[in-house]
Amino acid sequence: MAASKSSLRTPLGKVRGLGAAKRGTEHFIAQRLTALALIPLALWFVWAVAAHAGADYAAATAFLSHPVNAGLMLLFVLAGVWHFTLGLQTVIEDYVHADGLKIAALVLVKFAGAALAVALVIAVLKLAV
Amino acid sequence: MADAAASARRPERPLSPHLQVYRWPVTMLTSILHRITGVGLGAGVLLVAWWLIAAAAGPEAYATFLAVAGHWFGRLVLFGFTWALVYHLLNGIRHLVWDAGYGFEKTRAERTGTLVIALSVVATLAVWGLAYFSMGAF
């Protein structure tokens, strides 16, 4: 969105009065809420994995099939994928300036995040149900 | 002569962070590490997905996962994943405290930055101590 060089209006003057981009606050709050949720969830995940390090198939699936563990794992992976998608979006918006490439990357991140979330949900539910 | 005239007109000012010549303050290091570990944790999510999908797929797929995770290189990657997660978690708490409006003073931010880096190393080693303990290493 390069400003025309022939225009005498400043970039600030052009956007003044147009209001906010509407979506910024939502992104900011979702990023912080998922961060907050991930504090206890990540601590639980790290403990769970470390305490079951080297566990064989039977022990691992027994742990993952307990409803409480399956629920916590679902919350962890969903909050994690969501938080990561929001974060990577910010990184792309900060560093990728070519419009086409930026939009392609943002769409790819969102699609990949959705696919990953669905795959993880199916895996966890298959173990638990 | 020209230099002296130029410097008289333009007084010495602090330069904005320049990666090669700027002495990195700890706050700058913690900031960029937060980004790098955040992006890196995307690979961590893929590892978690592999683990869960392998467990859901059956004993054979899970055995393959265990063989890769147990290999020395697999353990090295998992060690890096652990540190990235622990660091991003601790520094993320620091960011949330900042968002609430506390701890943003320069000396405070520098002290908590050093603390986060030190704690991330200690906590990562503690997690791996627990992992080796549960594998019956000691």
- What pLDDT sits at residue B17? 66
- What tens digit of pLDDT does each residue of A8-41 get? 888 888 777 776 666 678 899 999 999 999 999 9
CA–chain centroid gap for A93, Å, is 15
Query: ipTM for the complex?
Result: 0.84
Helices (H), B58-103: 59-70, 72-99
Q: Looking at the domain assignment, is residue A4 inside a domain?
A: no
Average pLDDT score, chain B: 90
In angstroms, the separation between the Cα of residue B1 and the nearest Cα of chain A is: 37
Reference A54, options B98, B52, B132, B80; nearest CA is: B132
Q: Nearest 5°: phi and psi at B20? A: -85, -35
- What tens digit of pLDDT does each residue of A64-90 get? 999 999 999 999 999 999 999 999 999
Residues of B in contact with A56 (CB under 8 A): 66
Question: Whole domain around residue A68: which residue ranges?
Answer: 23-128
Q: Looking at the domain assignment, is residue A86 inside a domain?
A: yes
Q: Check pLDDT > 80 for residue B13.
A: no
Contact B52 A81 (CB under 8 A): no
In angstroms, the separation between the Cα of residue B43 and the nearest Cα of chain A is: 10
Q: How many secondary structure helices (H) and strands (E) does chain B include?
A: 5, 0
Name the more confident of A13 and A52: A52
Contact B131 A50 (CB under 8 A): yes
- Going by pLDDT thresholds of 50, 70 and 90, the confidence category of residue B2 is low
User: Residue A53 carries which DSSP code?
Assistant: T
Cα→Cα distances A86→A25, A116, B69, B71, Å: 12, 14, 28, 33
Average pLDDT score, chain A: 90
Give how many domains chain A has, as a whole number.
Answer: 1
Note which residues in 41-80 of chain A have CB less than 8 A from chain B. 42-43, 46-47, 49-54, 56-57, 60-61, 64, 73, 77, 80
User: Residue A4 carries which DSSP code?
Assistant: P
Contact A96, A102 (CB under 8 A): yes
> For chain A, what is the largest distance between any 2 Cα atoms, rounded to a whole number of angstroms?
71
- Going by pLDDT thresholds of 50, 70 and 90, the confidence category of residue B135 is confident
- Going by pLDDT thresholds of 50, 70 and 90, the confidence category of residue A1 is very low
Contact B52 A123 (CB under 8 A): yes
Instruction: Give this prediction's pTM.
Output: 0.84
Q: Looking at the domain assignment, is residue A31 inside a domain?
A: yes
- What pLDDT sits at residue B78? 96
- What is the CB neighbour count within 10 angstroms for residue B69? 17
Q: Check pLDDT > 60 for residue B128.
A: yes
Residue of A25, A31, A49 to mutate, testing the B interface (most B Cβ within 10 Å of its Cβ)? A49
Task: Name the class of domain B26-134.
Answer: mainly alpha
Of the partner residues A50, A52, A91, the one whose CB lies closest to the CB of residue B127:
A50
Instruction: Collect all residues with Cβ–Cβ distance below 8 Å to B103 and sequence separation of at least 6.
Output: B94, B97, B109, B112
- What tens digit of pLDDT does each residue of B25-41 get? 899 999 999 999 999 99
- Going by pLDDT thresholds of 50, 70 and 90, the confidence category of residue B15 is low
- What tens digit of pLDDT does each residue of B69-117 get? 999 999 999 999 999 999 999 999 999 999 999 998 999 999 999 999 9
Q: Looking at the domain assignment, is residue A13 inside a domain?
A: no
Structure tokens at A15: 């956007």
CATH number at residue A63: 1.20.1300.10
- What pLDDT sits at residue B26? 93
- What pLDDT sits at residue B10? 72
